[in-house]
Structure 1
């Protein structure tokens, strides 16, 4: 196994090695390009080098060029990210070894509710807005609790949407993908959007998106049960901006998401076949005021989010169990400049209600709680090249009391070429109502069991460290980051002692401790004016309180991509992803056995052509070598769709 792993890692790491070897040659090359600007870390603009955190940025141009259907598709090749689909085709986005429930998803800084209370293991939050509405996506690896709160132990994904424009324009795009063979899995997506002025100071942007995916049941799927379920989504997003004057603006937002999984078989236990069907609807209303005053800036956001799920699953004790979650959030902050200090001061109020007539029948069919917070952050310019960011957040939870989480981060620009940065932070995550309510059940084990609440659970806390170096000038850039997180009282679903069932019902419990640590490497290099090479590598060691590797966490993962701008109108790329070994647990003769799953590598290629100034066409092949994980090992709990072909087009008018 060792030699096999080395054989696969070596070619995938070639890009990073090349960048390192050519450093001396590249220093004498072109001037550095303009860095990507980010705002999620501090609410103010930074580039990715100077920002006090580890950051990845995906632009609208990258989104348009990629054959992606949702947020997980878009981010799965980023360093430190795990977003593979499970054996239903559902993906959650984990950061630095943490599961998706520790990732906070924002839209323009506004939080989305975690879908875990309604739909454990669901991927509803992966399609919060139409892809055509996205200007860029900022991914913050590691906790940002000083500004964004308890959900951000793993990291933050902030989707920045396109703002309404002052001239009328529109865009439309359509994608079609087909998996090789006659086993289904075809999918298509259509997006339409426009923006423009209603009056001189009233601007609007609207986008709508439709996505449909067939179920995929290849020959390696046991009993003909689909490895990827059918899915239909309908998304709509709009922003109305009122430019009051040069200092003030109001923004009125509305988002609607509908996600449907049609009735289909999904499990066979013994001789009995089980079916399920789900539909999730979400409405989000937001009102934002932004002011730019002589003494500083202010932002106030008010949001109301309502999500409903109608879930039918005949494997569960209660086959149909509608649920509803309502969240009301008020958040405000101000930015002030005082000599060499840039201060952010703010507060946040969250009221959350979960409606479930079955699980909450003894308390009126619903449960609610509130959480308030005050936060502050100070960016201090110690010298022209040394900046210190200090922050803290004080949370008060209606059930779990008060908690303070501090944060400190240093950024030192050694030269125009090299930047060193690192920091320490703490994070706090209170249990959700479905975790602390006795008897409350959510679907787990891929629909084969339930996980129950426990009023004895405690909040999860973490202490996190990272140290990184970024070097680059002109045609090249590299970065390396070491990270370490110590999580106390991590919540897990635990089987009863001595359980003999293959899929026993579970209860939420706190682990004593868990740790995640690792190394993130990135590199990019312009080999010529027309050929670009980019790569990243993640080493991850995630262990539970017994020192065992946490399940379904590959130790090694590498992505590399070579892009060629052949002509002004024609481009092409080839990419590869290597996923290292990982552990899985399963039952053998009613005993739990831990096994190691094999590594695997996939390849993609594609081309894009600018047909006219206003129309682009893209073609490509995903999973070129047709890797089928269930053929490698039937114990795999994630899925790689077979070799697929795609075509997409984008028009602007």
Structure 2
């Protein structure tokens, strides 16, 4: 037995034992409290009165009532002016909805009534101080989003296509990365396996902007030689710190700038609590295939006041690990350690000042004979630190937000028996400021600006085989490149009538390398009545080349032996997106929406891989007439693919069939094609890629889930997942034929449960890919495929205090 194999088995035994102890500890803590008496879900009146776990932090009343609605399962109706300027109390514990709502509204003087039809009516007193049966003049609370407009809006009124994922849903499934959280959202696709990435509406992953509480998480794609396989998906807050996740499908460059060409994923964290509280969780995933690696997670969240109403603290962290697959090209062994501390200073009720520090470390091992496809062991380390200073001000005339974020990231790569080859360091300075102000009764104006500086230090590149710098200086050792960007934006939501609003916005971006860019958008929203809404508009997006792609003295090795060098002649990628959607909600037990989108996508950045290029006049060539690069290896270049069209349909719905049963699902159709006929790059013809997709995403994708509230404290579900045959993509990386043969379609099933053992302890479990189906075939070559997990068993425990 080899040294690594022995270490791998020893590490696996330790991890299994540790996971078992964490789960057992959580169980002991949870069972220490008296078990709730389990009763079968019966008549509606009994269901409404049943006690359940509530955990609602102090916040604005509108947001608190939305959380109450999610956790109680009640439809909340609120008088239109009741919540203005009102802050709720925190509610925590096992309570009936009546008790929880009483605590939530304590001290406000606002009356309420809970009806037998699972509705709660708030803020409509009659002369006797009780609520009348007729609720005319009230509004039914919609889910709230802050990402589309930069301020709180009802989801159906937001100027974008948005999906909300509440924490309650996240708690019922493994949550080791952002991909785990959003993989079942319509229009969202996971591209790749172990080193996968998130694509929205068929756009490249680089066009997905990730934010936490509205602050951009600067991309770390510069750390990876191929500019993909980003690792920032693993640097997200743990589930205990998350309130919800907002997924915006479609360009948001007019507000958030570059990187938002495909869409935005905004993770909204919980507010600091008025009383000390927190959670501890652990879970384990055991593979049905003995050659696949098991996975483990442990996390914690703690929050509370240091000085009541003045100084508050939030601390969270987690550790994830996965054993290495014994499959070439499979999942690497990995360890991920992540920690964050936030200090909140509230000098007055209208001003919040945040200090935040974050640190994380990731390590990946791929060893020969296991997950590595080569003959050497490879180790990759990623480290990231970030520091944030932010201020929110609530003024008589509007709300201001300001933040400064400094973050650094680095990657070290070690290959056994070879010198270090790729050790970049990345630093970002980001200043953001915005202001939202109502102008009369019909307009909400938001405006602001941003400044960013990105610095990339390149270490170990080609071991000193870099070309000379423009002034003739030998390029050895550490090299540096940097880019400055600044932007201004303005946006106005105009309520033209009581049923129609129009949002118009524009953003000006200035890049020190690529000059300037203007991104406008226009979006309309018509609500003819309380049940129907029609939304649609036009938005633009752009993504400038990364420093690796345009700096001419940065080279990345290709598997076929070539080196791809930066091209200063590149253009930014741009897109023009048009969409229209129809939304319906009967305000009782059924809602659905359908959206059509069409995107014109120009100047996608690709590279020529290891193909033979015709050497320009005066440039060196090898014995075959192929262009030779400055390091003596075959020359490869980045280039722009002129045009592509991406279009599709998104469908989603939810139906509360009966009190115990809810059916929900979504479907996405995506069609994408590049136009490359008659185009060549240094003799490399692009015509073979004409009609292929810029990103290999499925043409059809669907998810259907049936939830059964079997008992008051036990919820179960079954889900079917369908991924159709991929739109045939292109592999620019090597070989004589650029086309990828698409893998076939795939249908899988999951079953799971969530058991609220008592008011502080929850058990979750699931069997994923019940029928053990995958598309991966090690004997199939030339196909677009990657390692997929088969049947696996997940068990998680969470204790709150």
Do they fold alike, i.e. is TM over 0.5? yes
Which of 619, 625, 629 lines up with 2:765 in the alignment?
A: 619
Aligned-residue offset at 1:425: 1.2
Aligned partner of residue 170 in structure 2, secondary structure: helix
Question: Cα deviations across residues 218-251 of structure 1 (Å, max 9, x unaligned)?
Answer: xxx4xxx251111110011221111110221101
Tell me the distance in 2 between the aligned counterparts of 1:126 and 1:588.
28
For residues 513 and 553 of structure 2, the distance between their equivalents in structure 1, rounded to whole angstroms, comes to: 18
> Which residue in 1 is equivalent to 2:500?
386
Change (3 A) 1:300 1:231: same
| Matched residue SS, 1:630 | coil
- What residue is the counterpart of 1:601 in the other structure? 747
SS, match of residue 434 in structure 1: helix
SS at match of 1:438: coil
Measured in 1, the distance between the counterparts of 2:489 and 2:591 equals 34
Q: Which has the higher contact order (CA 8 A, sep 6+)?
A: 1
Give the match's secondary structure for 2:696. coil
Q: 1:415 maps to what in 2? A: 529
Contact 1:177 1:186 in 2 (8 A): yes
Deviation sequence 1:42-81 (CA, Å, 0-9, x none): 1111122110000011111111111232110111111000
Shift of 1:420: 0.1
Moved more, 543-552 or 347-356: 543-552
Tell whether 2:650 aligns with 1:520: yes
The DSSP-based 3-state class of the residue aligned with 2:348 is: coil
| Correspondence for 1:510 among 613, 637, 640 | 640
Distance 1:451 1:575, change over 3 A: farther
**Residues 1:249 and 2:352 aligned together:** yes
Cα deviation 1:103-158 (Å, max 9, x = unaligned)? 11111111112121102332411122223221111110011112111110011111
Contact 2:593 2:652 (C-alpha < 8 Å) held by counterparts: yes
Aligned to 2:60: none
Aligned with residue 133 of structure 1, among 241, 256, 265: 241
Alpha-carbon spacing, 1:373–1:589, altered in 2? closer, same or farther (3 Å): closer
Identify the match of residue 484 of structure 1 among 579, 598, 607. Answer: 598
1:192 equivalent to 2:192? Answer: no
Give how far 1:182 is off: 2.1
SS at match of 1:73: helix
Aligned length: 612
Whole-angstrom CA distance in 1 between matches of 2:438 and 2:303: 34
> Secondary structure at 1:515's aligned position in 2?
strand
Q: Which moved more, 1:388-397 or 1:589-598?
A: 589-598
Kept in 1: contact 2:650–2:666 (CA 8 A):
yes
Distance 1:444 1:468, change over 3 A: farther
**In 2, distance between residues paired with 1:294 and 1:590?**
66
Q: Is the 8 A contact 2:564 2:609 kept in 1?
A: no
After TM superposition, the score normalised by the length of structure 2 is 0.73
CA distance change for structure 1 residues 314 and 430 in 2, over 3 Å: closer, same or farther? farther
Q: CA 1:420–1:591 in structure 2 vs 1: closer, same or farther (change >3 Å)?
A: closer
TM normalised by structure 1 equals 0.89
Alignment counterpart, residue 173 of structure 1, candidates 278, 281, 289: 281
Question: Is residue 84–residue 639 contact of structure 1 (8 Å, CA) maintained in 2?
Answer: no
Range with greater deviation from structure 2 (448-457 or 91-100):
448-457
* 8 Å CA contact 2:744, 2:775 repeated in 1: no
Residues 434-489 of structure 1, C-alpha deviations (whole Å, 9 max, x = no match):
110114134666x9876432111111221111100111121011111011111221
Q: Is the 8 A contact 1:202 1:243 kept in 2?
A: yes
Residue 460 (structure 1) aligned to one of 564, 573, 579: 573
Q: Is the 8 A contact 1:134 1:160 kept in 2?
A: yes
Deviations 1:306-328 (A, max 9, x none): 0011122479x964321110000
Which of 381, 392, 397 is the matching residue for 2:511? Answer: 397
Which of 664, 686, 694 does residue 534 from structure 1 map onto? 664
Distance in structure 2 (CA, Å) of the matches to 1:613 and 1:504: 65
> Residues 514-537 of structure 1: CA distance to partner in whole angstroms, max 9, x if unpaired?
121100000110111111111111
- Give yes or no for contact 2:538–2:576 (8 Å, CA) kept in 1: yes
CA distance in 1, matches of 2:230, 2:738: 28
Aligned partners of 2:581 and 2:596 also within 8 Å? yes
| Equivalent residue number for residue 336 of structure 2 | 233
Q: Which of 112-121 and 90-99 deviates more?
A: 112-121
CA contact (8 A) 2:742 2:784 kept: no
Greater radius of gyration (CA): 2
Q: Which residue of 2 aligns with 1:293?
A: 395
Matched, 1:106 2:214: no
Moved more, 60-69 or 416-425: 60-69
Q: CA separation of 1:314/1:152 partners in 2, compared to 1, >3 Å: closer, same or farther?
A: farther
Q: Higher strand proportion, which one?
A: 1
Asked if structure 1 preserves the Cα contact closer than 8 Å seen for 2:221 and 2:230, the reply is: no
Cα separation, 2, equivalents of 1:562 and 1:151 = 35
* Aligned partner of 1:328 among 405, 414, 429: 429
Q: Could you tell me how far apart the structure 2 residues matched to 1:590 and 1:384 are?
A: 60
Match of 1:556 in 2: 700
Q: Deviations over 1:193-242 (max 9, x none)?
A: 1110000210001011010100122xxx4xxx251111110011221111
1 CA distance for matches of 2:363 and 2:691? 37
1:523-558 alpha-carbon deviations (Å, 9 max, x no partner): 110111111111111100111123413152211111
Aligned residue in 1 for 2:271: 163
Any unmatched runs of 5+ in structure 1? 1-28
- Asked if residue 640 in structure 1 is aligned to residue 783 in structure 2, the reply is no
Listed as ranges, the matches of 1:436-475 within 5 Å are 436-442=550-556, 451-473=564-586, 474-475=588-589
* Equivalent residue number for residue 250 of structure 2: 142
Q: Is 2:329–2:372's contact at 8 Å kept on the other side of the alignment?
A: no
- Alignment counterpart, residue 574 of structure 1, candidates 712, 715, 718: 718
Q: Distance in 2 between matches of 1:249 and 1:173?
A: 29
| Displacement after TM superposition at 1:178 (Å) | 0.6
Q: Map Cα deviations across residues 245-275 of structure 1 (whole Å, 9 max, x no partner).
A: 0221101112222111025237877xx6243
Any idea what SS the aligned residue of 2:157 has?
A: coil
* Counterparts in 2 of 1:450 and 1:613: CA distance versus 1, 3 Å: farther
Cα 1:614/1:303, change in 2 over 3 Å? same
CA distance 1:195–1:443, shift in 2 (3 Å): farther
Paired residues of 1:488 and 1:514 also in contact (CA < 8 A) = yes
State the distance in 1 between where 2:598 and 2:505 align: 19
Deviation per CA, 1:148-205, whole angstroms, max 9, x where unpaired? 1111001111111112111001200101001013214111100011110000210001
| Stretch deviating more after TM superposition (456-465 or 301-310) | 456-465
Report what 2:411 is aligned to. Answer: 309
- Are the equivalent residues in 2 in contact too, given 1:439–1:454 (CA < 8 A)? no
8 Å CA contact 2:272–2:314 kept in 1: the answer is yes
Distance 1:84 1:622, change over 3 A: farther
Cα distance in 2, alignment partners of residues 296 and 44 from structure 1: 11
- Indicate whether 1:216 and 2:325 are aligned: yes
Distance 1:33 1:178 in 2: 43
Determine if contact 2:292/2:789 at 8 Å carries over to the other structure: no
Match of 2:199 in 1: 94
> What is the alpha-carbon distance in structure 1 between the residues aligned to residue 219 and residue 636 of structure 2?
20
Shift of 1:584: 5.1
CA distance in 2, matches of 1:262, 1:596: 29
What is aligned with 1:77?
184
1:152 aligns with 2:260: yes
- In the alignment, is the contact (CA less than 8 A) between 1:164 and 1:240 conserved in 2? no
Matched, 1:377 2:491: yes
